[in-house]
Amino acid sequence: MTLEIYDTTLRDGSQQEGISLTVGDKLRIAALLDELGVDYVEGGWPGANPKDDEFFKRACKELDLSTATLTAFGSTRRPRSKVAIDPQLRSLLDAETEVVCIVGKAWDYHVLEALRADLDEGVRMVAESIEYLKAHDRRVFFDAEHFFDGYASNPDFALAVLRAASEAGAERLVLCDTNGGRLPSDVVRTLTAVQETIPAAELGVHFHNDAGCAVASSIAAVEAGVRQVQGCINGYGERTGNADFSTLLPDLSIKMGIDVLGSKSLTRLSSIAHHVAEVVNISLAPHHPYVGSSAFTHKAGLHTSALARRPDAYEHTDPATVGNRTRMVVSELAGKASILSKAEELGLEVDDDFARRIIERIKELEHEGYHFEAADGSFELLVREMAGWEQSFFKLESFRVFTERRAHEEVVAEATIKVVVNGERVVSTGEGVGPVHALDQALKDALRGTYPAVADLHLTDYRVRVLDSKDSTGARVRVLVETADHETAWGTIGVHENVIEASWKAITEGLIVGLLRHTAG
């Protein structure tokens, strides 16, 4: 019996503050989740909003899923009503998916207070809705909302709801910790009680992360024998999110030896996690387990020299199994060994003497306010330049940037840039919400003709910090930028008294590193 991976990024995950997905975004994410190899992709809640209705219409025509099954989500019929006239159940059928997942209340408090119905009606709503969907040839999963809290409050009612769902034909009974406050030990106790009461049921679990335990509780539930886990890639979801598949899937696969992705491989995980983050437009935290850019990053000098010899002594698993990689960060603390291994990682050959000169140079620059830990891209360029390399993608003649505030509080920035690209002088302009955005647009526009790869390079993070200075008129500004393609991201840095100049250095270095990776130059 295999464990089923049920992804709800497109429904529960999209409830996260700051996430707003278009139908096109949802289709892209569904395709990426299928590429990853999850068993079920919950597409949304038909009838709840026109966007989800359109998603299901387009998904039928445009999505060609190889391993995932698309499911539609909805709730049981309204209280004191009839299934045949329930608009919500009608929309669920109209989505025309083979599998539907419906949510019903398992906590007596919610039935009595939120629905203002009696408990018998609460049970009937679940049973009749499932029977109705089964009569229309749907496979049905049942999400028992607030199950763990409901079981603690009134176990008889919570179990009566599950029994009714099972007898009505639900294939999976999914126990949800909707408020996310339960601990793993508590989850296992409740699960065991359910298994003893309804031994034939195939159970699933759905955890929210409010107590920081969604992944831990999912693992405990899998150990206790559940058939299905629900969650979201990168842990998206309301409040503190849902169980994080980017962490849970490698835990289940690498640590527990469970086959979670069938024929697909976890080696695509990091790349897909970053790609979804790009569509969602929220940068993935560097310290995200397994898939974050710092998940296998090492800093201290001593440690890195040992790491170069024996990586398994300092890493809990081989980063390649999840498609990530070991990274060394460079700082003035770094020893020669970490410079050498960083250079090797970049494919550059350097000797001991050269490494010592680089360390000296880094110390000088860090004194001026540079900080290479988060700027691996700038470090790469520094090493190349000290070895005599010079970037040949473009030469700057000049740029000019201004910001205009128009009536009605509209603010726009415009940049004009003059560069020599491939021996030819190019003048281009860019508009943006701010001066840095406008400059980035203008430079990309100037390069696009010769280097089409710039279209795939995106500015994904921009941070400015004013550095402490005794002389406040001469305060320096440090700009850290992150640039990404579809696969990875890299950091670059600029330091200057003028924020535009510091930004210019950081964004151009970001583009140069990207061009180095995408062109033969």
Task: Name the site residues for Zn ion (rule: CB under 5 A).
Answer: 12
Q: Let me know how many helices (H) and strands (E) the chain has, helices first.
A: 17, 16
**Nearest residue (CB) to Zn ion, 45 versus 394:** 45
Question: How many angstroms separate the CA atoms of 133 and 124, rounded?
Answer: 14
**Nearest residue (CB) to Zn ion, 143 versus 414:** 143
**Token match 């003497």: residue?**
353
Q: Residue 141 pairs with which residues in a beta bridge? A: 101, 172
Q: Contacts by 160-164 with C-beta closer than 8 Å and gap 24+? A: 160/119, 160/123, 161/104, 161/105, 161/106, 161/122, 161/123, 161/126, 162/106, 162/194, 162/197, 162/198, 162/201, 163/197, 163/198, 164/123, 164/124, 164/126, 164/127
Question: How many angstroms separate the CA atoms of 182 and 187, rounded?
Answer: 7
State the nearest-atom distance from the C-beta of 56 to Zn ion, in Å: 20
The per-residue DSSP string of 266-329 comes to GGGHHHHHHHHHHHHT-PPPTT-TTTSTTTTEE--HHHHHHHHH-GGGT-SS-GGGGT---EE-
State the nearest-atom distance from the C-beta of 242 to Zn ion, in Å: 6
Per-residue buried b or exposed e for 334-367, using 16+ beta carbons within 10 Å of the residue's own CB? bebbbbbbbbeebebebeeebbeebbeebeebbe
**Nearest residue (CB) to Zn ion, 132 versus 142:** 142
Question: How many angstroms separate the CA atoms of 151 and 141, rounded?
Answer: 19
Tokens at 441, concatenated:
């647009």
**Nearest residue (CB) to Zn ion, 12 versus 373:** 12
State the nearest-atom distance from the C-beta of 177 to Zn ion, in Å: 9
Q: Residue 207 pairs with which residues in a beta bridge? A: 177
CB closest to Zn ion, residue no: 12
Question: How many angstroms separate the CA atoms of 7 and 34, rounded?
Answer: 10
The length of the chain, given as a count of residues:
521
Strands 297-298 and 327-328: parallel
Query: Coil, strand or helix: which one is 419?
Result: strand
Question: How many angstroms separate the CA atoms of 105 and 144, rounded?
Answer: 6
State the nearest-atom distance from the C-beta of 283 to Zn ion, in Å: 24
State the nearest-atom distance from the C-beta of 12 to Zn ion, in Å: 4
State the nearest-atom distance from the C-beta of 218 to Zn ion, in Å: 13
State the nearest-atom distance from the C-beta of 236 to Zn ion, in Å: 11
**Nearest residue (CB) to Zn ion, 12 versus 380:** 12
**Nearest residue (CB) to Zn ion, 239 versus 425:** 239
**Nearest residue (CB) to Zn ion, 12 versus 149:** 12
**Nearest residue (CB) to Zn ion, 174 versus 506:** 174
State the nearest-atom distance from the C-beta of 58 to Zn ion, in Å: 24
Tokens at 400, concatenated:
């000019």
State the nearest-atom distance from the C-beta of 145 to Zn ion, in Å: 8
Question: How many angstroms separate the CA atoms of 298 and 313, rounded?
Answer: 12
State the nearest-atom distance from the C-beta of 220 to Zn ion, in Å: 18
**Nearest residue (CB) to Zn ion, 241 versus 494:** 241
**Nearest residue (CB) to Zn ion, 12 versus 53:** 12
